[in-house]
Chain A
Amino acid sequence: MRNEKSTEAIAHAIRSRVFEHTIRNNGGYLSQACSAAEQLAFLYNEGLNLGPSTMPMIPPPFTGVPSAQNPDYVTGAGYNGPFDAVHDRLFIAPAHYALVAYACLIEVGRMAPEGLEMFNKDGTSVEMIGAEHSPGMEVHNGTLGIGFSTAAGLAWGRKRLGHTGRVCVFMSDGEVQEGQTWEAVQAAAHHGIDNLWAIMDVNRQQCDGAMDDVMTVGDIATKLRDFGAVVAEVDAHDLPAMRAAAAIPHPGRPLIVLAHSRPTQGMESLMSRFPRLHYVRFKSDEERARMNVEIAAELGIAPVKLEAH
């Protein structure tokens, strides 16, 4: 489903919306919007074959976890369109990117802006760490490193069932530190699972700061190729390059697009916090006010009106 808006415009709108949310709430996963805006905009706006959302524009309240006593349980998958033979599925493996993913759902017309007002509010499904029942989430992924495995299994199953729809995973580079990621690539290659692909946000950051300071992972592309994937490397903020990479044929193997990103893309003022970018919470009213003005100017939007307190 293609939106009338350009992917570039959607990416910009994602950054603006996550920025506004973060300023208003004095905290948020803001640098993930900087690094991943184009990737998510690309997936939803053109990279994936998703049907129209089957869910209400305003997310329903939390209706309980899966159990035999809860027959009405639904996941957030419907926001990504109907689960049928022809449409693609998308997993957001690093579930802490949820804020960015929700903003993207709004920009592509799958969720109302009111949905984001529910973010992290008690009793809603719009959770801070995307849960299986959160909009656009299809399975639980908050424990990092399990997404690609689940996707490989789903893709294998869909192939067996004759589905033409593919399975895509949005991954984070921190996930390559988990051994399971490598087991997943190995299995996908071994079983020739080629209806499976991923875009990985290679921002070189993790909770503690720069990945090279926390746990060196070396050349991710070479390692992934050695484990059997077809790998493409692109500048995460270069949409034509991303389009070309996603179109690379990968018969008999999964495709993984490494999107080399900058954790402050579009919001250079955030560099003053480097390397503490994982979760942006302003240290003082002064910093918050300054960032509000500076980043808004960079984005070309008006600063957020803050209530006096």
Chain B
Amino acid sequence: MQMVNRPYAAAFEAYATQHPEVLCLSADLTSSCEIDGFRDRHPDQFLSLGMAEQNMLSFAGGLGLAGFRPFLHSFGVFLYRRPYDQLMASIAYPRRRVRLMGFLPGVTTPGGMTHQAIEDISVMRTIPNMTVLEAGDATEVESIVAEADTVDGPVYCRILRGAVPRLFDTPLKIGQMRVLSEGDDVLVVTAGITTEEAIRARGALSRAGVSVRHLHLNTLKPFDAAQIVAHASSVRHGVITLENHLVAGGIGSMVAEALAEAGLPRRLIRLGLQDTYAHGGSRPYLMRHYGMDALSLVRAVERLTGQTTGIDEAALEGVRIDAVHSLVKAEAL
């Protein structure tokens, strides 16, 4: 698998330098969000707002009012937890064209509860006027910049940083989910880093005779309920969602709502954080500990189909382990 180093850095610089109305805002996490090179080379398009996120959000609302399209960079959590009120009043309600670039989504950070955005999707998708996107590979990180900027209103994006695998060769298009396999036993719905997990599981599952239909979502709002229902109706056993997020309010909930509204009776297993906070640790450890990895998906498939597959850890391809201090990591916390 090809790994791309810091795909956001290059993509943002290439795009922003062509669009003078785009501004780069940072809240004291400039290199952690891969915009340090941009700051150094394009200081006129860069605004340092310091560690003061509430102000940054309302400030961005003002920039939007003046006709600019600010891209806000921080860890995902710091873009909505403390400044939620500012997000509502200064950005979402007036439909400012503010682009919230949330780095280190879910358990991709070892920083523990205060750093892990585990309810951001559920919060963001309930906000009227918001668009919610999530990048799942290097190609999507690269294309999310320009794509987010086409939205006439605010956008929240979950961004991957550092060394990111390239899974796709076509750009992210808002509203276009990716159909990664067209099996007819089980429907698996993933987004972000869980797509890579599901791809690993799929290989082993198909060798074990389970035919998986796999959808990768990059647009979480607007949510294409009709397509989800169509895919769900074409599988025999049911649906599994696997998300780097709490199962409440995120992709599992969206799929459940879609099935219920369509009156389509299908069993649904929602994998992700089950009404718990996570804690600090490496990404592979956290994904295993909280049941969000390829093996957890295999076990859920077994529950759904009632068959054991014989798949164990060894049958799944090796997990990528990035050392916390390795050089491919963008920066520390």
Contact = CB atoms under 8 A, between A and B. Distances in A.
18 contacts: A25-B325, A27-B325, A29-B332, A65-B113, A123-B285, A127-B280, A129-B110, A131-B280, A140-B114, A142-B111, A143-B77, A143-B82, A175-B51, A178-B53, A279-B331, A279-B332, A281-B325, A281-B327
Contacts of A140: 112-114
B114 A214 contact: no
Interface stretch (A189-197, A205-213, A225-233, A299-307): A205-213
Interface stretch (B24-32, B148-156, B204-212, B254-262): B24-32
Contact of B113 (A123, A142, A179, A278): A142
Given A279-B332, A281-B325, A281-B332, A129 B280 contact: yes
Contacts of B278: 65
B111 A128 contact: yes
A129 B115 contact: yes
Contacts of B112: 127, 129, 131, 140, 142
B115 A214 contact: no
Interface string A148-169: 0000000000000000000000
Interface residues of B, number: 39
Secondary structure dominating the interface of A: loop
B54 interface: yes
Interface centre among B82, B114, B285, by most A CB within 10 Å? B114
Given A129-B114, A142-B115, A143-B78, A179 B55 contact: yes
A110 interface: no
A127 B77 contact: no
B28 A62 contact: no
A129 B30 CA distance: 19
Contacts of B81: 143
B52 interface: yes
Interface string B12-54: 0000000000000010111110000000000000001111111
A133 B111 contact: no
Interface in A63-110: 65-67, 95-96
Secondary structure dominating the interface of B: loop
B306 to A, nearest CB: 28
Contacts of B111: 128-129, 142
B3 interface: no
Contact of A179 (B26, B52, B277, B285): B52
A120 interface: yes
B279 A207 contact: no
A127 B52 CA distance: 25
B285 A122 contact: yes
Contacts of A25: 325
A6 B277 CA distance: 41
B282 interface: yes
Contacts of A123: 281, 285, 289
